[in-house]
Amino acid sequence: MPAKRAIGLIVDTVGSYGREVLYGVMEFCHRNPHWVVAMEPRLWLEDELPQPEKWNVDGLIVQAHRQELVDRVRAAGKPAINVANMRVCRKPLPTIVPDDPAIGKLAAEYLLSLNMPHYALCGHAIAQYSQLRGAAYKAAMRKAGKRVDECDGGTQDLGAWLAALPRPTAVFCVNDNWAHRVLSAARQRNLRVPDEIAVLGVDDDELLNTIGAMPLSSIAIPAAKIGFEAARLLDGAIDGRRPHRMTTLPPLGVVPRATTDVANVEDAAVARAMQFIKANVARPIQVSDVLEYTLMSRRSLERRFRDALGRSIASEVRRAHVERAKQLLTNTTLTIEDVARASGFTNVTLLGVVFRRIVGDSPSAFRARSTFNARSPRTSPKRRR
């Protein structure tokens, strides 16, 4: 048996990101019994910093939110891995975090698919993750020919900003915390969500995002995998291997809920067709089914689909089926065959072909990287992610 390794954790236990990181660390500990968590995680207040130099540990996993904490960790003289993407300027620790530009790009792609006429961004200008997500979001929107209204939540009045936006507008918030603030401000201003303001967050805090009357759509990030990989990198660093300065992991995908449940197209026939597709996404519907429901010729409806959405009827049907499959792969333990049937594919081969064409990955590979964030059955009761 390898010698025991005592690991200190400086991770926020209140936010969902920190908690999920801890689940990943716990999973590494279960797979490597010589690892022992010697310092219990807790919420470190802004005016209170831990003193890792006094801890009898072999290494540290740190959610480094300020330079003073990084300085203390370095002064402790222990190998350390950082799991936060805040603005830390001097001698940053080796870091593993979500791919923030990829998150911003994914947010733009998803909100563009809603076909909203206006788009906005809410973040916190001083946070590096917010800057990176926001910059990628705006770049993707510019490429699509869209203008973005911005709000720095740290300095602006959210309610006044929302009230001044054209309607309807889709708002990307750089994390769930800001998204819930936007929802609260919208309620206070009597703005209807999602009809006037559609909202998308990041982190997919399942508890907070589903507890209210208006469940929040959010981008799921691989926080548990980040925790696991941080532990693996730290294990190697203790052995003398130098970790990369920066490692990023891609987002898992969008988890759509009520705050973006819109079919915002002016063409009534296209809106009616999209409602039919959404209602029947679990069945193997064809273009002919959509035409029969709308009582329109294929030539006419195809033209109107391309004018309204920029894609064909068949493309929209395939996209809806694949989005359904992604949700099932991430949130359930159904077999791939059952996922195919439950997402409107006649067989698993067809699911694989269409899924790879749209997602760029096989269903099984997508599930492998997505469901790591579900807590291991060895560490907690099974839950839906």
CB-based contact 301:274 (threshold 8 Å): no
365: number of Cβ within 10 Å: 14
pLDDT at 224 over 70: yes
Which of 87 and 67 is assigned the larger pLDDT? 67
Alpha-carbon distances, residue 175 vs 106, 199, 367 (angstroms): 13, 11, 23
User: What's the pLDDT score for residue 376?
Assistant: 41
Stretch among 4-18, 21-35, 259-273 having the lowest mean pLDDT: 259-273
User: What's the pLDDT score for residue 7?
Assistant: 95
Q: pLDDT of 116-147, one tens digit each?
A: 899 999 998 888 899 999 999 999 999 999 99
pLDDT at 44 over 70: no
User: What's the pLDDT score for residue 210?
Assistant: 81
User: What's the pLDDT score for residue 45?
Assistant: 52
Which of 314 and 195 is assigned the larger pLDDT? 314
Stretch among 71-75, 167-171, 323-327 having the lowest mean pLDDT: 323-327
Which of 172 and 68 is assigned the larger pLDDT? 172
For the whole model, what pTM was predicted?
A: 0.77
User: What's the pLDDT score for residue 384?
Assistant: 36
pLDDT at 237 over 90: yes
Which of 318 and 264 is assigned the larger pLDDT? 318
Confidence at 88, pLDDT banded by 50, 70, 90: low
User: What's the pLDDT score for residue 379?
Assistant: 38
pLDDT at 195 over 70: yes
* Domains of the chain listed by start with CATH number: 5-98+223-250 (3.40.50.2300), 100-221+254-260 (3.40.50.2300), 268-373 (1.10.10.60)
Q: pLDDT of 275-331, one tens digit each?
A: 899 889 999 999 999 999 999 999 999 999 998 888 899 999 999 999 889 878 877
List the structure tokens of 306.
């391309």
User: What's the pLDDT score for residue 261?
Assistant: 81
Stretch among 37-41, 110-114, 372-376 having the lowest mean pLDDT: 372-376
pLDDT at 378 over 80: no
Mean pLDDT of the 197-210 span: 90
Q: pLDDT of 322-369, one tens digit each?
A: 988 987 887 778 999 999 999 999 999 999 999 999 988 899 988 887
Mean pLDDT of the 98-114 span: 95
* Look-up of token digits 């190697």: 236
Mean pLDDT of the 163-178 span: 96
Pairing of strands 95-98, 148-152: unpaired
DSSP states of 45-104 = PTT----GGGS--SEEEE---SHHHHHHHHHHT--EEE-------SSPPPEEEE-HHHHH
Is residue 43 helix, strand or coil? coil
CA atoms within 13 A on the CB side of 188: 13
Which of 9-18, 232-241, 354-363 holds the top average pLDDT?
232-241
Average predicted confidence (pLDDT) for the chain = 88
User: What's the pLDDT score for residue 373?
Assistant: 54
User: What's the pLDDT score for residue 250?
Assistant: 92
What are 25-29's contacts with CB under 8 Å, separation 24+?
25/61, 25/227, 25/228, 25/230, 25/231, 26/227, 26/376, 26/379, 27/224, 27/227, 27/228, 27/376, 27/378, 27/379, 28/227, 28/228, 28/231, 28/232, 28/235, 29/231
